[in-house]
Chain A
Amino acid sequence: MNTEKVISGFFFILAMTINFGFVYGDPANLEYHSGYELFAAIVINLIATILKLGDKTQLGSVLLATSLVADIQLIASATVWAFAVYVMNGMNLESTVAVVSLAAGAFIANIVSVTLFIGDTLKSKR
Chain B
Amino acid sequence: METNNTIWIIIRRMRIPFLVIIVTFSISILGLTLIPGMDDQGHPYKMSFFDAFYFVSYMASTIGFGEAPYTFTYPQRMWVSACIYLTVIGWFYGIGAIVALVQDKRLAREIDIARFRKKIQELREPFTIILGYNNITHLIIDWLNREGIRVVVVDRDPEKIEALDLENFIPEVPSLAADVTTPETLKMAGIHQKSCQAVVSLFEDDIKNTKIALLCKLLNKRIKLVIKSTTQTQSEHLHNLGVRYIEDPFQFVSNRMYLALTAPSLWLLEMWTFGHILRVRDREQLPRGKYIICGYGRMGHALERALKKAGIPYSYVDIKSTDYKEEKQSAVFGDGEDYKTLIEAGVKEAEAIIAATKDDLINLTILATAKKLNPEIYTIGRENTLDDLSIFRAARINRVYILEHILAEFTYLFIARPLAYRFVRLLHTKDEAWGAKVVEQMHATLGENPMHFEITLDEEHAYALAKELKKGRQIPLGALRRSRANREESLPLLILLCKWDERHLELMPGDDLPLEAGMRLLIAATEESKSDFEYIVNNYYELAYVLGEDL
Please report A residues at the B interface, Cβ cutoff 8 Å.
Answer: 35-36, 38-39, 43, 46-47, 50-51, 53-54, 56, 78, 82, 85-86
Contacts and interface: CB of A to CB of B under 8 A. Distances in A.
Contacts of A46: 22
Contact of B12 (A36, A39, A53): A53
Contacts of B8: 54, 56
Given A43-B26, A46-B22, A56-B1, A51 B49 contact: no
Interface in B17-41: 18-19, 22-23, 26, 29-30, 33
Contact of B15 (A50, A82, A86): A50
A36 B12 CA distance: 30
Majority secondary structure, B binding face: helix
B15 A54 contact: yes
Contacts of B241: none
B22 A47 contact: yes
B22 A50 contact: yes
Majority secondary structure, A binding face: helix
A50 B12 contact: no
Contact of A53 (B15, B48, B50): B15
A42 B410 CA distance: 70
A90 to B, nearest CB: 12
Q: Which of B12, B22, B23 has most A Cβ within 10 Å?
A: B22
B12 A54 contact: yes
Interface of B: 1, 8, 11-12, 14-15, 18-19, 22-23, 26, 29-30, 33, 48-50
Contact of B49 (A35, A53, A54, A56): A35
B517 to A, nearest CB: 54
B49 A82 contact: yes
B24 to A, nearest CB: 11
Nearest to A53: B11
Contacts of B50: 82, 85-86
B23 A47 contact: yes
Contacts of B26: 39, 43
Contacts of B33: 35-36, 39
Contacts of A43: 22-23, 26
Nearest to B5: A56
Q: What 4 pairs across the A-B complex have the smallest Cβ distances?
A: A54-B12, A43-B26, A82-B50, A54-B11
Contacts of A53: 11-12, 14-15, 18
Contacts of A47: 19, 22-23
A36 B29 CA distance: 11
A78 B54 CA distance: 13
16 contacts: A35-B48, A36-B30, A39-B30, A43-B22, A43-B23, A46-B22, A47-B22, A50-B19, A50-B22, A53-B15, A54-B8, A54-B11, A54-B12, A56-B8, A85-B48, A86-B50
A39 B26 CA distance: 8
A51 B12 CA distance: 9
Contacts of A86: 50
A44 to B, nearest CB: 9
A116 to B, nearest CB: 20
Nearest to A83: B50
A51 B11 CA distance: 11
A36 B18 CA distance: 22
Contacts of A39: 26, 29-30, 33, 49
Given A35-B49, A39-B26, A86-B50, A50 B18 contact: yes
A43 B237 CA distance: 66
A39 B49 CA distance: 8
Nearest to A35: B49
Q: Which of A50, A82, A86 has most B Cβ within 10 Å?
A: A50
Given A39-B26, A82-B48, 16 more contacts: A35-B33, A36-B30, A38-B49, A39-B49, A43-B22, A43-B26, A46-B22, A47-B19, A51-B15, A51-B19, A53-B14, A53-B15, A54-B15, A56-B1, A82-B50, A86-B50
